[in-house]
Amino acid sequence: MPEDIPDRPYFVVPAPLRLWTREWVPSPAVSMVIDGPSGAVELRLRPDLIDTPIGGTSIQYHSRTPRAMTTTHQDCLFLGGATCYSDGTALAPGNQIDAWVRSGQGQDVVDELVHRYFAEWPADRVEPGPAEAPDSRPDEQAPPPDTERP
């Protein structure tokens, strides 16, 4: 089951997305996941491989709907047990995400995963509504500009 990160309030993730992690015991791998209504983007880190020629990071996309060039999985951990259509790629050694991980730039990593999620599923983006003006509540009428409120 995904583990939310309640002790990390400094990671900002926009609605309707959620951030969580998963450790792959006994492997030294850990996944950082952004999930939402249409799927999930998983960054899998293998710290023991980051300095090797094959690198230690990969990006996987887990979609709820079929897509070209994907593999179908039943019981996808990243989609709450739903059928998953996934694809992904290993990232080259020395990529930007590796650099952020090494320097502790966690929010940069999260922002990149959010960017990748919305690039894959743009319809899930929720645009913020207009801020409510102080006198625009329906139960109260704003006074004319040249008068004072009683």
**Residue 144 located in a structural domain:** no
Tokens of 6: 């309640």
Quick count: other Cβ atoms within 10 Å of Cβ 13?
A: 19
Q: Model pTM?
A: 0.75
Alpha carbon 40 to its chain centroid, in Å, reads 7
Whether residue 140 is contained in a domain is answered as no
| Domain-embedded: residue 143 | no
The residue type of 42 is E
User: Scanning the structure block, which residue is given the tokens 């179908």?
Assistant: 72
The answer to whether residue 40 is domain-embedded is yes
- 138 located within any domain: no
**Which pLDDT tens digit goes with each residue over 36-78?**
999 999 999 988 887 787 788 899 999 999 988 888 988 999 9
Query: Dmax of the chain from CA atoms?
Result: 74
Q: What is the pLDDT of residue 126?
A: 85
pLDDT averaged over consecutive 10-residue blocks of the chain (150 residues)?
50 92 90 95 89 85 89 90 91 77 83 93 82 41 42
The reported pLDDT for the residue numbered 141 is 40
User: Total structural domains in the chain?
Assistant: 1
Please give the pLDDT value at position 131: 53
Does residue 137 lie within any of the structural domains?
no
> Domain range spanning residue 74?
3-124
Q: Looking at the domain assignment, is residue 65 inside a domain?
A: yes
